């Protein structure tokens, strides 16, 4: 048994660390703006602990760096005794690099693939993307010279997105979102860092293409430029969160010999894939292009006319059309959504590593962007790592966002959500994949359950997942009726569970549903799974009944038609204690998904043995958990750990 009680914090400094003045995680979730051995090893761990105790602020300034040991960073399950500097808003590497940071360079990269047919800057042939670039100051190296030696060549980490000068600092100012973290941690270690504006934002011209092919061409041009300069060692990595976590997938979809690793955090594998789930649309889906991001290209200057490009024009019908149909409009001959699908092309065009980072409580960019993507990448031979904590739309190391989560949405896992070792983790990753230096990082999924426990899995969901099925005829009706409409809900409860259950991945609910005989040509269902004893949120699912079979091909139903709606929950890793039970709250819609436009009439659900709740589970104990740095042992697992 391994149910964790409320965790405690080792140091009050964690709670007193300086924070960014951000809106709360709860507000961000509601807004849903699109904003990853014994022996010698034991000796190394002991040395780290001694140094930590001796120097107080951590292992920084005490170690010689990666060159001193093949495994300078202990395995993740041996880092509990390490101490890090937690006085900033983000994590810090264990020791500062030896190089000073240059003043930023302002660079405009021409994009020659934008043509007249694309509109915008294609009409004048002068499309370009803008970036700010920070380089390390290396003695004896003049980065303006040609034919530099290998000692003067550095890899580049790029953060690419739409926010520089549009809701944030300009591209020549280190951004608190991620840029300052990258510049201060990694430039002194011999990396270049670039902040790149996508088309139509910041100082990049052309139009705001919302992740379309034009934007992908601009990203590709930036990657090619960064990888081909005389001061570059030819290796580029792309990292970011949210929109900036989607641009790594865009870069991978285009492919480049210079692109060696991508680190998408809360990133999109495709725009339609995020905003439509089994035909159900998020409220923002229809207006995402022109209503939200299109305005970035309209800032009152002479380049506003360049927003009249192909993608922007298509944005007016593509969102509304997809809402009405629930699909990607391929039957109309439209390629708008196909252009904005990245994973399939990345599997073909990209040849590098992938480190996915995603919050399990991120309902802004839902976790189904990470699952089953993680295992798909492994199946296709990609070197893949994952970091999946119980935080929201956030970074792994940001106190301000993590501490603001509510019960059932990550609060029970805090403060174990905080990963102060993340900067070191990235340094190890970048050293290997951009510098060919040091041992290969562990390729596994680090996953945290809803009560705070961390463990490492070879893949995620795990290969040893088992399924337990419950017929809904086994459930007790607590309230409501089986005729579900916009103002009613049905609450049912499972039998009491004899043993603790760890639900992982994407459990399913296959439920018989009947459309209304009063003109029901579709219908909409939403299900929330909660813990019976407390009502704590565990997971949720949505479905437009036109897509009852799953996938992206729907069908118009007839009034009174019964279908088996094969609903799939969003990604979960939750514990149901022994003696507790599961409740399902069945309504017409939940979160910010909106009902089917075809019909909002009631839907009748059948609670027979033909309607089945499928729970995907794994058996794990306290012995499978590891403790992140700077936290006390899990209260229920002290003896085991």
Last residue of a domain, one of 329, 351, 373: 351
Average pLDDT over residues 130-158: 94
| Shared domain check, 229 and 210 | yes
Choose one of 333, 351, 369: the last residue of a domain: 351
Mean pLDDT score across all residues of the chain = 86
Q: What is the CATH number of the domain that holds 513?
A: 2.60.120.260
Mean pLDDT of 366-380: 96
* pLDDT band of 297, cuts 50, 70, 90: low
**CA-CA-CA-CA torsion for 411, 417, 418, 420, nearest 10 degrees?**
170
Range of the domain at 223: 100-351
Residues 398 and 271 in one domain: no
pTM here is: 0.89
- Domain holding 182: CATH number? 3.40.50
Question: Is residue 1 in some structural domain?
Answer: no
Do residues 576 and 542 share a domain? yes
Which class for 465: exposed (0-12), middle (13-18), buried (19 or more C-beta within 10 A)?
Answer: middle
Q: How many other C-beta atoms lie within 10 A of the C-beta of residue 496?
A: 11
- pLDDT of 330 strictly over 50: yes
Task: With a cut of 60, say whether residue 69 has pLDDT above it.
Answer: no
Q: Which of 37-51, 523-537, 591-605 has the highest mean pLDDT?
A: 523-537
Whether 137 is covered by a domain: the verdict is yes
For residues 208 and 391, give the distance between their C-alpha atoms in angstroms, rounded to a whole number: 30
- Give yes or no: residues 611 and 632 share one domain: no
639 and 606 co-located in one domain? no
Would residue 286 count as lying in a domain?
yes
Residues 6+ apart with CB under 8 A from 601: 485, 515, 516, 518, 519, 520, 523
Do residues 305 and 360 both lie within one domain? Answer: no
Q: What's the structural domain count of the chain?
A: 3
Q: Is residue 159 part of a domain?
A: yes
The DSSP H or E segment spanning 604 is strand 603-605
Span 458-508, pLDDT tens digits: 999 999 999 999 999 999 999 999 998 878 899 999 999 999 999 999 999
Residues 613 and 625 in one domain: no
Q: Tell me, yes or no, whether 459 lies in a domain.
A: no
Closest of 171, 104, 99, 169 to residue 134, by C-alpha: 104
E-assigned strand segments in 204-246: 232-241
Question: What does the alpha-carbon distance between residue 633 and residue 489 come to, in Å, rounded to a whole number?
Answer: 41
């Amino acid at each position: 048994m391994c149910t964790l009680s409320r965790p405690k914090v080792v140091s009050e400094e964690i709670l007193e660390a300086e924070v960014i003045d951000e809106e709360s995680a709860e507000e961000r979730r509601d807004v849903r703006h699109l904003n990853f051995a014994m022996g010698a090893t034991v000796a190394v761990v002991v040395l780290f602990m001694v140094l930590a105790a001796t120097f107080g602020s951590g292992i920084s300034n005490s170690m010689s760096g990666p060159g001193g040991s093949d495994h300078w960073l202990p395995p993740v399950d041996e880092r509990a005794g390490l101490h890090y500097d937690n006085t900033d808003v983000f994590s810090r590497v264990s020791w500062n690099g030896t190089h000073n940071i240059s003043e930023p360079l302002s660079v405009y990269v021409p994009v020659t693939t934008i043509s007249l047919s694309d509109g915008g800057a294609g009409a004048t042939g002068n499309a370009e993307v803008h970036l700010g670039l920070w380089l390390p100051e290396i003695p004896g190296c003049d980065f303006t010279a040609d034919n530099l030696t290998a000692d003067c060549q550095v890899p580049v980490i790029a953060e690419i997105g739409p926010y520089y000068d549009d809701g944030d600092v300009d591209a020549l100012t280190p951004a608190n979102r991620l840029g300052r973290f990258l510049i201060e941690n990694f430039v002194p270690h011999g990396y270049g860092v670039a902040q790149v504006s996508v088309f139509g934002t910041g100082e990049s011209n052309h139009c705001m293409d919302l992740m379309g092919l034009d934007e992908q061409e601009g990203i590709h041009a930036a990657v090619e430029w960064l990888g081909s300069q005389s001061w570059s060692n030819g290796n580029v990595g792309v990292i970011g969160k949210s929109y900036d976590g989607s641009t790594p997938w865009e870069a991978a979809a285009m492919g480049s010999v210079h692109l060696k690793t991508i680190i998408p955090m809360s990133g999109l594998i495709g725009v339609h894939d995020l905003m439509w789930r089994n035909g159900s649309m998020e409220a923002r889906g229809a207006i995402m292009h022109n209503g939200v991001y299109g305005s970035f290209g309209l800032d009152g200057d002479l380049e506003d006319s360049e927003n009249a490009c192909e993608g922007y024009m298509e944005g007016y019908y593509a969102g509304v059309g997809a809402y009405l149909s629930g699909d990607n409009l391929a039957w109309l001959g439209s390629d708008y959504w196909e252009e904005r699908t990245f994973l399939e092309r990345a599997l073909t065009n990209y040849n590098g590593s992938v480190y996915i980072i995603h919050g399990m409580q991120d309902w802004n960019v839902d976790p189904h962007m990470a699952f089953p993507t993680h295992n798909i990448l492994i199946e296709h031979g990609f070197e893949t790592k994952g970091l999946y904590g119980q935080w929201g739309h956030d970074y792994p190391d940001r106190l301000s966002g993590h501490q603001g989560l509510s019960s059932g949405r990550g609060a029970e896992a805090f403060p174990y959500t905080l990963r102060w070792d993340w900067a070191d983790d990235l340094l190890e990753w970048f050293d290997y994949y951009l510098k060919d230096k040091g041992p290969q990082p562990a390729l596994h999924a680090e996953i945290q359950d809803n009560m705070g426990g961390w463990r490492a899995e070879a893949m995620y969901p795990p290969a040893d997942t088992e399924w337990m099925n419950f017929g809904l005829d086994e459930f007790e009706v607590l309230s409501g009726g089986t005729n579900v409409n916009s103002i009613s809900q049905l609450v049912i409860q499972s039998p009491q569970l004899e043993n603790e259950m760890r639900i992982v991945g994407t459990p399913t609910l296959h439920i018989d549903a009947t459309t209304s005989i009063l003109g029901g040509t579709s219908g909409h269902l939403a299900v929330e799974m909660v813990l019976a004893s407390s009502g704590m949120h565990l997971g949720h699912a949505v479905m437009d009944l036109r897509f009852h079979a799953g996938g992206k091909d729907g069908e118009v139903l007839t009034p009174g038609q019964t279908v088996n709606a094969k609903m799939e929950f969003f990604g979960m890793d939750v514990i149901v204690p022994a003696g507790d039970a599961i409740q399902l709250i069945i309504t017409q819609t939940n979160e910010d998904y909106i009902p089917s436009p075809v019909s909002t009439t009631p839907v009748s659900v059948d609670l027979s043995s033909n309607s089945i709740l499928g729970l995907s589970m794994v058996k794990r104990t306290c012995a499978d958990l590891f403790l992140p740095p700077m936290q006390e042992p899990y209260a229920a697992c002290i003896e085991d750990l």
